[in-house]
Chain A
Amino acid sequence: MENMNLNRSDKLKRYARYNAVFLLLFAAFVLITVLNINSGSVNISVKEIARIIFLREGDEMSYSIIWKIRLPRIVTSALLGGGLALSGFLLQTFFGNPIAGPFVLGISSGAKLVVAITMIVLIQYVNSISAFAMVCAAFAGALISMGFVLLASRQVHQMSMLLVTGIMISYICSAITEFLITFAKDTDIVNLHNWSQGSFSGMDWDDVWMCFVIIMITFAATFMLAKPIGAYQLGESYAQSMGVNIKRFRVILILLSSLLAGCVTAFAGPISFVGIAVPHIVKIALKTAKPIVVIPATFIGGGVFCMFCDYIARTAFSPTELSISTVTAIFGAPIVIGMLLKKQQKY
């Protein structure tokens, strides 16, 4: 009986913790959103902003800055950040290693390469490329890279070697991309160069909607996979013995993580470390790896993290803007190094 009560109180404690973490995430989300709307090269007062957003009226220039520049950027950074973190979480599940992620495995770079090729080739025939075509190209690129990583994972069974392979794939793709950019027509270069450095700028509402639809669908699909992902955390064989159709499950994981990584890359270019750092911090905060809470928390956490990094990127050396990867690396890389050191001690 005493054990039963202990069990209860332990459960309550867990739930309290989950609630606290989610509350904190929401609070951070609201705070960083307000901060983001409120900052930029043009000073607009809070009162004015509120009027523009909620009453949809105000000074024309301020109105268009808020609605055409700041808001789309905020929403996409939140969505893409969430997507990126989720993609990292899926890859970590797939490879059973907390250091896997779309960037280190070369998946983002693969997407980048195919997008670059598509841009350079297509721009000769059409004036502008639709966002949808970009996403498709990036998805294809992500899948191709993933294919190479999977091929390598059959040969090398050591995770560290697999990561090295991923980084090599990443370098090769980047090299080819750079090569293409060097020889591309002048007009493309500016566009391509900005994008290949990673940035949330230049989004319009059509892009936002497309992001929203893709990311939300994949998020929902991932959330529905919470149960088999939980089983998979005990390893493939155990998952299978619990009734998971492993082959199908693995294919779905690959498709979802590639779609997420591809979508993010198509819109914002390759962004580093978010996919590793965010799921890790979220798990520590929740004190559990249960997918059913980790998946939504990772999604929101990724959004908050990217919004925060974008805020820094925009404001730190304003009016000069940093590339988003520069900022995510500064905050993300130390976390990853910390993980590696901790892991070293453990085994």
Chain B
Amino acid sequence: MKEIYFRTGELTVGYNGKALIKDIEIKIEKGEILTLIGPNGSGKSTILKSITKHLKTIKGDSFIADASIGSMTYKELSKLVAVVLTDRIRPEMMTCRDVVATGRYPYTGSLGILTEEDELKVRESMEKVHAVEIADKDFAAISDGQKQRILLARAICQEPEIIVLDEPTSFLDIKHKLELLSILRSMAKEKGITVIMSLHEIDLAQKISDKIMCVNGDRIEHFGTPDEIFKDDIIKRLYGITKGVYNINFGSVELPKPEGEPHVFIISSCGRGIDLYRRFQKENIPFYAGILYSNDVDYVVAKSLASQVFEEKPFMHISDDVYEQAVTAMKSCDRVINAGVEIGESNKRIGDLLSVAENLGILETI
């Protein structure tokens, strides 16, 4: 059992003396990544601001290695915690290097003049986020993705034990999102820097975090490892999803399935049906899918999008029961689409299914 590095004690946060979220219990080890997830306006930022002393806590305190943040001076805290905030900064006439160099603040003398060593640290931080080539550009003139990387470099440059990031991936495209998160990941694992952040992308949160905290308005719904948290019902309840599906295995979301009586039957396997499912879903045409083995990729997507999936356990012969149901359904359809399927010994009944469709004159093969 490793030691707890950062924790909160009976922490209650809020604005202007009014409690918003009560009894926040965070416990994380050194080098772990904690991600706060939850709907917009659920209080993720409020918590982050409170544990970095930007906001006065209503009750309780946070502790870094058992030292109370509340009784630290800002100067002491600045050597332990660095932040990347959502505030859009618009510094006048500062190059990216200048912005990163502000991270050296806690270490420079009373006039803030950088030593050789400080400059080296600035350089290293920029290398870490792959931003050396934009070092001399005006900060105001670079893209959002680059800005975020520079701000991360600034935080790294501060040589903190903990980095707190408030929605660092907003405004970033997918490439930069992944880049940013992988930098955080390697910092946490290689340098033992503890990361506390909020993310909107729950799929990414699941993949990067060691601990997850679900924040929902007035309370913490869950705190635990991603395995414990990423269950369909927890996520659905947290975000109040009533339409659409959150897919646990893929960490992806699907829009709600088309409603109504299906008149299309899709036969496929090995992922070849997915494009078709999506097309029908977009056009809001309900459809059947089958017969699919439950370990097929098509199966996972079909479960979210098809009105009904005719399924069989992996590697088994297709049972009479399933076959009969599929045939009945097929007979109510105007179209049967074969998106591609290999027929072997155990699934030869799919071949039968195709012949039935052929005889009905409604089979299309693509």
Contacts and interface: CB of A to CB of B under 8 A. Distances in A.
Contacts, number: 86
B106 A243 contact: yes
B91 A289 contact: yes
Interface in B95-115: 98-99, 102-103, 105-106, 108, 110-113
A243 B105 contact: yes
Contact of A227 (B83, B92, B105): B105
B183 to A, nearest CB: 19
Interface stretch (B2-10, B70-78, B259-267, B284-292): B70-78
B77 A243 contact: yes
Contacts of B270: none
B219 to A, nearest CB: 26
A235 B53 CA distance: 16
Contacts of A290: 98
Interface residues of A, number: 29
A289 B93 CA distance: 6
Contacts of A238: 83, 85, 87, 89, 102
Contacts of A235: 87, 89
Residue of B78, B105, B119 with most partner-chain A CB within 10 A: B105
A186 to B, nearest CB: 50
A206 interface: no
A212 B87 CA distance: 41
B105 A231 contact: yes
Interface string A1-13: 0011011001000
Nearest to B93: A289
A231 B102 contact: yes
Contacts of A193: none
Contact of A289 (B87, B94, B132): B94
B94 A292 contact: no
A288 interface: yes
A244 interface: yes
B313 interface: no
B92 A283 contact: yes
B78 A242 contact: yes
B74 A245 contact: yes
Contact of B92 (A6, A10, A98, A240): A98
A237 B92 contact: no
Contacts of A246: 74
Given A234-B99, A242-B103, A245-B75, 8 more contacts: A7-B135, A10-B136, A98-B92, A224-B111, A227-B111, A233-B91, A242-B105, A243-B79
22 contacts: A3-B123, A7-B119, A226-B111, A230-B112, A231-B105, A233-B94, A234-B99, A234-B102, A235-B89, A238-B83, A241-B78, A242-B78, A242-B103, A242-B106, A243-B74, A243-B79, A245-B73, A283-B93, A287-B93, A289-B91, A289-B93, A292-B112
